[in-house]
Amino acid sequence: MSVAIARFPKKMTKAQNVRRKMDKNNLSEDEILTMARDFRNSQNYNYKCQYLLSNDIITANTDYQDLSQGGNTWTLYNNMLILGVSDEIWIYEYLICGFRKRKTETSKYIRSQTHHVIPKSLIGDCSINIDLKSIIDDGRNGIILPTTTNCEYNFALGTAHGNHSSDYDSKIRKIISGCKCVEELWPLLDSIKSDLFNGSCHLTKSHKCNLSTNSR
């Protein structure tokens, strides 16, 4: 069995096992939140829980990504897992949302969201020399960012973000327009992801979770 085929189901199983353990031990929602906060504040938490730099990725797994969707948030997140990003944020949100059955209630507890660093709106842009559709869902083009500053439920670090703004799209267009091949993109994306994480770059239009495309 290939690495990519096995990897994501393994993540699902991990989350389900944690949930079964929670049920077995009768853990409450508050106890799960405490576990999530303890993890977030521990030495085990770092930027690799939210994005990967070029030197971090599992190179052997790049060919196992699904790049056929042309801009799907869930596919992007799955590809990030394939390349080596941690799944801890997703597991804790999965557990917390297990207490919330309805979509309207779930949106209150999803506090992080996966974003395309190069936005889908730039696909087909005449000023860009690269076929972005073929790499838009590459895990190297993804970053998980918080959608709230509420530390009680915020399992991701960094500045709160929501949907992309036109100013952000214009900035990315300017940065990548000089690239002549895909290989030239990745170092530029490393810099952008670091800036998004530390708050020196913003893509915010709103802080509302985009549940229409899934929080991941």
Task: Report pLDDT digits (tens) over 39-71.
Answer: 878 887 888 889 999 999 888 888 899 999 889
pLDDT confidence of residue 215: 36
Which regions in the chain score pLDDT beneath 70? 1-26, 94, 96-110, 149-155, 160, 162-163, 204-216
pLDDT confidence of residue 86: 84
- Beta-strand ranges (E) seen in the chain are 112-116, 142-146
Distance, CA of 35 to CA of 28 (rounded, Å): 11
Round the CA-based radius of gyration of the chain to a whole number and report it: 17
Distance, CA of 85 to CA of 106 (rounded, Å): 24
pLDDT confidence of residue 150: 62
Amino acid at 90: W
pLDDT confidence of residue 97: 66
Amino acid at 87: D
pLDDT confidence of residue 207: 46
Strand partners, 145: 113
pLDDT confidence of residue 79: 92
Q: Is 22 within 8 Å of 95 (Cβ atoms)?
A: yes
Residues 6+ apart with CB under 8 A from 214: 73, 74
